[in-house]
Each structure stands twice: as C-alpha cells, then as structure tokens.
A and B are shown apart, each in its own frame.
Chain A
C-alpha cells in the first residue's frame, strides 16, 4: 500500500515561472518529510526537508509547505530553471525510524 502519493506524474513549466509539486500521505506517524531530485543515471539528490513541527521551510529557490491536517505537502520552485528538469520524489519517515517511504515521483520539464 503506497503511503506516500504523488498524483501528478509529470509537470511542464516555462522557465522563470513557478513549479508546484504536490505530495499526499496516509500514515499519520510520518513526522519528517523530504524532497529529492533525480537525474537519469544518477542517485537521488536531497533538496529540502521539513519536520512536522513546522509548516514551511525555505532554502533559496525551494520552499516546502506542510499541511498536517490535510496530510499534504508541496514543493515550490521559484524561478524554475532548465537545470531543474528532473524527476522529483517526495519521501517521509516515521518518528524513531530511519527508513524512508517514497512517492512515485513527478517528472518536471522546464521549457525555455
């Protein structure tokens, strides 16, 4: 049973505009959330994370928002750049557990 869901398999956005990626989860024990970017033939690269005690975390062009009541988080990339074209994975872990559960991924294409 998929506990982390990314319902949009793909997203196309114009360079300079905002990319918004969404992620939903079903496990109420998740309390730490991460976003990863993956290029073909490479391992996932960590982007940004958020703890359940926060509702927002920002790092440069990347901002993650967490809505615990809705069990929903989103990643905003502003402005989008061609190098942002990749697969983005949402991941989550439970309290006192180091394992990560991943969503299916969203392929982002940034158009020039």
Chain B
C-alpha cells in the first residue's frame, strides 16, 4: 500500500490567481496521477505525472492551465492557473503500482470566488 499526503486540504481562492497542490507519497512509485471531481460528478483524470519528463494530459486539459511537476518518485505538484469559479472542485492525487489498486490522497477542496 501507499500513504499519500496532499496539501492543502482545502482553500478558497480569488479568481485569476493560481494555487499549487502538493502530493507526497511515503514510498517510490512509478505512476502518479491527478484527478478532478467537480461537484456531484465523477472523478476525471487530468494527467499522468511522469518523473523526469513532461506530464501526459488527457483530452480537455492543457499544460498552461494545469502545470504539473514531478521532480522525483515520491513527490508531485499540480498548479491550477488563472482560476475561475468553474475550477471549483476536489483535486486528488493518486498512485498505482502495477495492475493493482490505486491509492488516493485525501483530496484538496478548492473553491474559487
């Protein structure tokens, strides 16, 4: 298993600003992912955070809006840039070791006002 710490757990931000979310894992993992859960909806994959190279983004998500860093095998950050109220969501970091279950952080609840 993996223990994932996400910071901050929640934040209220002004529109037009940016927020960086941190994800720390207690062990080295190959695959790290960032998901978004908009109010009342399912989890949607934003991108795969690749160690040592640029993240791989899913359709509808772009690097300018959601820049991701992955400096090593235990840490990643997701930045939500130039925020608008539509970015109000729960953002979740996840890791998966092979073809088994994925583990999730507790999430960051973002409210943009």
Contacts and interface: CB of A to CB of B under 8 A. Distances in A.
Q: Do A and B bind each other?
A: yes
A56 B102 CA distance: 20
Interface residues of B, number: 25
A interface bracket (residues with beta carbon within 8 Å of B)? 20 to 34
B100 interface: yes
Contacts of A100: 33, 43, 45, 94, 96, 102
A104 B41 contact: yes
Contacts of A103: 42
A14 B96 CA distance: 35
Looking at B43, B100, B103, B107, which has the most chain A CB atoms within 10 Å of its CB? B43
Interface string A71-85: 000000000000000
B4 to A, nearest CB: 7
Nearest to A99: B45
Given A99-B33, A102-B42, A105-B42, A43 B4 contact: yes
B22 interface: no
B37 to A, nearest CB: 9
Top-9 shortest CB links A-B: A43-B104, A46-B101, A102-B43, A104-B42, A102-B42, A98-B31, A43-B106, A44-B104, A98-B96
Given A46-B103, A100-B96, 9 more contacts: A42-B106, A43-B92, A43-B106, A45-B104, A98-B33, A98-B102, A100-B33, A102-B44, A104-B41
